[in-house]
Structure 1
Amino acid sequence: MPLRNYGVLAARVVDQRREEVDDSPFYHLHLVDAEGIAYRASVNVQSLQAPSELLYVVIDDFRGPVLDRLPAAGSGWRGLASQPDAEGLDFIRGNLFDPSAMRAVPPDLPPGENDLADLLDHFVLRAINDSAAAVYVFGEHWGPEPDRPDRVFGFVPGNGIHDIHMNQGSTSRFRRDDGVWQDGGVLIHLPSESRWIAVFVAFQSQAWHTDDTTGHMIDAPPPRPADQVEWVFDTPAQEDRLRRRPLATALARRLSRSRQDEPDLSFLLHIDGAWGTGKSTLVNLLRTELPREWLPVDFNAWRQTNVGPAWWALLVALRQGITDKTPTLRGRLRLRLAESWMRLRREQLALAVLLLLLIACAALLLLGRELATVTTTVTAVVTAVGALWAAARFVGRFLQWDSARGARLFEQSNANPMRDIAEHFAWLVAKAPGPVIFFIDDLDRCSESYVVELLDAVQTLVRDTPSTTAHSRSFGRDHRGSVFFVVAADGSWIRKSYEVAYEKFADSVAEPGRPLGHLFLDKLFQLRVSVPLIDAQRKQYYLARLLRLRSPTDAEAVRQEIKRTRDLLTNTTTDDGILRIMDSADPAVYDQVADLAVIRLTDALVERATEHRLQRFESLLAPNPRSMKRFVNAYSMLRAVRILEGSTVPFDPLALWTIIETRWPGLADHLRAHPEAILSLNGMSSDRDIVPVTLRALLEDPDVRRVTTFELGGPLTPELIRACCGESLPAV
């Protein structure tokens, strides 16, 4: 028999609590609707039947017709009938998600191991901190219970929702609750991010082949071994086991703010890390954290290496991305025709010559035999040759742009091909349904020649085209939309590629502490972010998660401390305040609240306070009009990475280290490997041999000495350098 009181609750979440009981733990939400009525929604995080671990799927950017049928935000409880047209959920028949995407997650691993409650925490806490967020809970309603306080949150009367999971294909005594179009779930709407998040849960004992009327199991589920280690594949992860999502959230906010502050400027972000450090995983998470209106364009550089010119591959990827976002065949055809017409108008010279020659041919026909035979013959030859040239040029422009071979011919047959290419790229960007962001991966698997070719093409396409020109206005475009590029690659690979390509210029261009490769990276990218390193504790948690292990801990005490620490972080408005809280946190608590600490760093009040403090270091920066902005961005991202690595290095030393990284990246590379070399740079040691010959000129550089001994944060020591690079400071 179907659930008696199935429906959906539209409300706002104001609190959450984990509950640990022996038989079946829950994750509780405290929700309040627009009328002030309180509810408790209880999500199972463990099964009464073996296997105890639930299946779950979290969709970061959920879409579907169910969103169009939801009641108004905050409107409270609405009962629904268990039938197809009653707006309920059905995991099997509703096409909500791919069931094969569901994963088994232990309900309550020791803090930091990403159990199901951790996953719910990540999204629920965001909804609690966003006053505009709306939550929809599907399940069975119970209560109200007059004069009886809620046993978890204490509000009166007790009132709530349960069975927030799949409610069909059950075994044993739960078979009586089977039905169709009555499955449970949680939908969270974050308007500030233009995003819907969906959380769906099922029991492993439930069947996915059920009767269309009763919802009863038709085929029994296959048995699953109780003790089995998961197969782990060396592919970019979709599950955030290493807590990279907070960094992805911070990057997404940084990119969104850059677009708001400077809408006409493009932005290039470099995600730096060696092979296997998780660059692609971070890129995947960043993609899901961006606002929904952005247009992501995936570009695997390695697969494009031998296909065609780099600019052509980028152009094809952009066109395909726009086409995929164009829902109708009519819209795609209109885009293609508009693109062809734009190319046609650009060929004004060829069209003019062809028109003049046609007029000449017509004049010959009208004049007839009066003209001399020689004149007629010469004119006919010139006309034929000119017509062939104009026609070939005209037709070629259409054929060449649609194939890799044609793209190469286009390059060879035009005196200034990149101008037209950049104009065409900008035209396509203007046709995109939202801001365009390229995700370039596997560049550090390509040859040095292709690395340079691709990055030079990117620079040409997004920087060398003026935002407003007479040429562009003639084609009906008065501005160029900004384009964002995220390049995930080992920085040393990119630097070496440029050093090989421009080897002849290395001695004349490179500077002490700023080798040629670093100069190119500084010119290309506005922001560089290193992938966080994995400390010993995180390695232990990660291995335990893969092996499905548990370890004893005082879970309830840790949870209470986590909640207290999160409350403190939510109420602080300075970088220093966040650091003090994190520095005093127990290791088990630190890992659980690091995500919130990183997200708090991107809060507008915290960022303003940070920028104000960083202005004290302005005299140490390079004399560049954009150096201060780059300094602020670099510090903010470096602080986020350090927190995720477990390092709470103080504000001032990290600011000085950020300056060294940005002004003398070659010196920073050496100090990472040899922190004790800082003693020779700041005058605390006379040992010059610890500094390589290529950097010894910096020993006498007054700017370097001033940074390393600055009154705020200095003098830098080997211990501070190690902390700035991710190690924890020794206890005092």
Structure 2
Amino acid sequence: MPLKNYSLIKGKASNLAIDEDDSPHLEIRIEAAGVSYRVALNVRSSVPPNDLLYRKQDPFFHPLLDEFSALPEGKLNIGQSFSKLALDYVRGNFVQREAMKIAPFQRLGPDNDLRDYLEPIIRQGMADQRTTFYAFGEAWGPEEGEVDKYFGFVPANGIHDIHMNQGSPGRFKVTNSPNQDGALFIHFGAADRWAAIFLAFQSQDWHTDIHTGHPMKTRVIEPRNIDPLKPGIAIVAALINPAGEDDGQESVTLLNRTDVEQNLKGWRLMDRDERIQPLHGRVGAGDTIRIHLSAGPDNPHLRNKGGVIKLVTPDGVIAHAIGYKKHEAAREGWTTIF
């Protein structure tokens, strides 16, 4: 069952608190359209392994950032009204599993724990009211008459689950779903610079069902002699902006990184709007294959203003996903290398 109130809170940060109970969080007070909210950022898992996976990326680039900027301040229901802005770590190319690191909440010494990595950039954003925070997760409240236990505003109101929300086992499996992951984005308006914070639990599986977000029972790609977190077949290039008419002329180039031939039967390419093109043929060990995208409105298309290309296995696993920006598609007839 997906999150009940998958939402975005957009506003200015005015305060920061640290709670250090059995499930510690960085607590951020956000002011948005005259309403106060609390953003509860997980910094430790309540079940082993306790240390989180994290990725702080500064600067950060993604095609959706311009659409974030155009949104009004306040609390927005992403699941109902802004579904195309939903985050998906596995399918949306916001963050790759191999790019994340493991960190404890607190450890003696400088620059060696989550508090050291995250607190300074949050405080930097708080210090300048030209900076805007964007928190994706599960919203709660307003709880009429209830006082927020960290910042004292009334009514209590906020957002939590600012982390990956799929691939969870056990009792947390009930909230799994694709397209509902949490994250924190910070736009430093004075410098027009974006930063992003992504969090996940070590217990979460990154091979998830495309419909339910539950962990997959089998893993299709098991290449030998390479990092198992990286895809055996990868997207390495694309002709996004062909000379002349785009429809039917765009292409995606795949690389077989493994040491054995791969059969592409059942594999698919998918664009940002989840239009699908089935693949066929075979690609030899270490070889590439160029896939021409079929013409027509129901087939995948590579948007010249920025988009996403996804490679899907026969079992619905996103083997690889690439996001590209407008300038990477700007030169007509040139192939973009990823």
> Residue in 1 aligned with 2:84?
86
Runs (4+) of structure 1 exceeding 2 A deviation are: 71-74, 82-86, 110-114, 325-333
> Residue in 1 aligned with 2:150?
152
SS in 1 for 2:14: strand
Residue-by-residue CA offset, 1:358-401 (whole Å, 9 max, x unaligned): xxxxxxxxxxxxxxxxxxxxxxxxxxxxxxxxxxxxxxxxxxxx
Residue-by-residue CA offset, 1:417-449 (whole Å, 9 max, x unaligned): xxxxxxxxxxxxxxxxxxxxxxxxxxxxxxxxx
Residue-by-residue CA offset, 1:117-154 (whole Å, 9 max, x unaligned): 22111211111111100010000100111111100111
CA contact (8 A) 1:166 1:203 kept: yes
Residue-by-residue CA offset, 1:521-549 (whole Å, 9 max, x unaligned): xxxxxxxxxxxxxxxxxxxxxxxxxxxxx
CA distance in 1, matches of 2:169, 2:88: 18
Q: 1:125-524, aligned counterparts within 5 Å?
A: 125-219=123-217, 327-330=329-332
CA distance in 1, matches of 2:81, 2:204: 20
Letter in 2 for 1:203: F
Pairwise CA distance, 1:114: 3.2
Residue-by-residue CA offset, 1:601-649 (whole Å, 9 max, x unaligned): xxxxxxxxxxxxxxxxxxxxxxxxxxxxxxxxxxxxxxxxxxxxxxxxx
SS in 1 for 2:66: helix
CA distance in 1, matches of 2:81, 2:218: 24
Letter in 2 for 1:7: S
Letter in 1 for 2:106: D
CA distance in 2, matches of 1:326, 1:176: 39
Q: 1:609-688, aligned counterparts within 5 Å?
A: none
Pairwise CA distance, 1:74: 5.8
CA distance in 2, matches of 1:198, 1:155: 27
> Residue in 2 aligned with 1:32?
31
SS in 2 for 1:182: coil
RMSD of equivalent CA atoms: 2.5
CA contact (8 A) 1:82 1:179 kept: no
> Residue in 1 aligned with 2:104?
106
> Residue in 1 aligned with 2:8?
8
SS in 1 for 2:64: helix
- Which structure dedicates a bigger proportion of its chain to helix? 1
Pairwise CA distance, 1:177: 0.5
CA distance in 2, matches of 1:48, 1:146: 28
CA distance in 1, matches of 2:209, 2:149: 37
CA distance in 2, matches of 1:126, 1:331: 42
Q: 1:46 aligns with which of 44, 47, 54?
A: 44
Pick closer, same or farther for the CA change 1:32–1:72 going to 2, 3 Å: farther
CA distance in 2, matches of 1:198, 1:123: 10
Pairwise CA distance, 1:50: 1.1
Pick closer, same or farther for the CA change 1:93–1:84 going to 2, 3 Å: farther
CA contact (8 A) 1:27 1:42 kept: yes
Unaligned ranges ≥5, structure 1: 222-324, 334-732
Pick closer, same or farther for the CA change 1:71–1:176 going to 2, 3 Å: farther
Q: Count residues in correspondence.
A: 229
Pairwise CA distance, 1:97: 2.2
Pairwise CA distance, 1:326: 6.6
Q: 1:578-593, aligned counterparts within 5 Å?
A: none
Pairwise CA distance, 1:51: 0.8
Q: Which has the higher contact order (CA 8 A, sep 6+)?
A: 2
CA contact (8 A) 1:89 1:181 kept: yes
CA contact (8 A) 1:84 1:181 kept: no
- Which structure dedicates a bigger proportion of its chain to strand? 2
Pairwise CA distance, 1:99: 1.8
CA contact (8 A) 1:207 1:220 kept: no
SS in 2 for 1:107: coil
SS in 2 for 1:329: coil
CA distance in 2, matches of 1:332, 1:185: 34
Residue-by-residue CA offset, 1:205-224 (whole Å, 9 max, x unaligned): 00000111110111489xxx
CA contact (8 A) 1:18 1:117 kept: no
Letter in 2 for 1:29: I
Pick closer, same or farther for the CA change 1:113–1:220 going to 2, 3 Å: farther
CA distance in 2, matches of 1:150, 1:171: 31
CA distance in 1, matches of 2:328, 2:177: 38
Pairwise CA distance, 1:98: 2.2
CA contact (8 A) 1:73 1:134 kept: no
Pairwise CA distance, 1:69: 2.5
Pairwise CA distance, 1:47: 0.6
Identity between Structure 1 and Structure 2 (%): 39
Pairwise CA distance, 1:5: 0.3
Computing the radius of gyration from Cα coordinates, the structure with the larger value is 1
Pairwise CA distance, 1:68: 2.6
> Residue in 1 aligned with 2:60?
62
Pick closer, same or farther for the CA change 1:213–1:126 going to 2, 3 Å: same
Pairwise CA distance, 1:194: 1.9
CA contact (8 A) 2:26 2:43 kept: yes
TM-score norm. by structure 1 comes to 0.30
Pairwise CA distance, 1:110: 2.7
> Residue in 2 aligned with 1:118?
116
Residue-by-residue CA offset, 1:323-379 (whole Å, 9 max, x unaligned): xx674333979xxxxxxxxxxxxxxxxxxxxxxxxxxxxxxxxxxxxxxxxxxxxxx
Pairwise CA distance, 1:115: 1.4
CA contact (8 A) 2:52 2:199 kept: yes
TM-score norm. by structure 2 comes to 0.63
SS in 2 for 1:65: coil
Pairwise CA distance, 1:90: 0.3
Q: 1:557-596, aligned counterparts within 5 Å?
A: none
SS in 1 for 2:125: helix
CA distance in 2, matches of 1:145, 1:46: 26
CA distance in 2, matches of 1:328, 1:113: 39
CA contact (8 A) 2:90 2:96 kept: no
Pick closer, same or farther for the CA change 1:208–1:84 going to 2, 3 Å: farther
SS in 1 for 2:128: coil
CA distance in 1, matches of 2:82, 2:142: 28
CA contact (8 A) 1:82 1:88 kept: no
CA contact (8 A) 2:57 2:197 kept: yes
Letter in 1 for 2:166: Q
Letter in 1 for 2:159: I
Pick closer, same or farther for the CA change 1:329–1:167 going to 2, 3 Å: same
CA contact (8 A) 2:95 2:198 kept: no
Pairwise CA distance, 1:9: 0.7
Pairwise CA distance, 1:94: 0.6
CA distance in 2, matches of 1:208, 1:110: 31
CA distance in 2, matches of 1:326, 1:51: 39
CA distance in 1, matches of 2:88, 2:97: 12
